[in-house]
Amino acid sequence: MFEKDCFDVYQPDATFAGGIAQVRQRIDTCQQRDRLFSPHTWTNGIGFYINWNMVLADKTNRLPLEYPIEEPSWIPEYREGIIEPILPDPEGMIQPFTRPGLGFEINPSLLRRYGKRFFKITETRLKLKVIREKGLKAALQIKKRKESQQS
């Protein structure tokens, strides 16, 4: 996008766009080319903190940090998952964090509650799921294709 000078504002999410170091390079490029940076932060609480760090690292930032809140389901108490909720003040502002590192701590009781595998499937159940969803004929075609790829 930078090669074609596509945007005035670049919005990489560090949790999806190569990580902190990669987005830091994008911030530097924005500064060199007089472009704005504001990450797209529509993720969970940990991703939110990571992108919040990126905004705080950009000393030239002139844009507000957008953050996800969509009542009634996507609110801080649910969005954050295994960390304490990030709550804005009455004006919708969030103060810089004061904890070390990325600024959050994993809550052990929330980790015990939510840190479990939600989906587990055996090979047999996967086969039955494919038959149920796609039909027996499609399942047999998939099996035949996989067998031919293995030989």
CA-angle at 22, arms to 18 and 23, nearest 5°? 100
pLDDT tens, position by position, 106-125: 999 888 887 766 567 788 88
Residues recorded for the chain: 151
Six-digit token string for 38: 């504001």
If you average pLDDT over every residue of the chain, what do you get?
86
Read off the pTM.
0.69
Domain ranges of the chain: 9-114, 121-151
- Mean local confidence (pLDDT), 45-61: 89
- Whether 29 and 3 have beta carbons less than 8 Å apart is answered as no
Residue 118: predicted pLDDT: 56
**CB 83: neighbour CB atoms within 10 A?**
20
3-state helix, strand, coil in the chain (%, to 5): 40, 5, 50
Kindly indicate the confidence band of residue 28, based on its pLDDT and cuts at 50, 70 and 90: very high
CA pair distance 136, 128, nearest whole angstrom: 9
Question: HEC states along 13-72?
Answer: CCCCCCCHHHHHHHHHHHHHCCCEECCCCCCCHHHHHHHHHHHHHCCCCCCCCCCCCECC
Q: What's the DSSP call for residue 74?
A: B
Fold of 9-114: TIM Barrel (3.20.20)
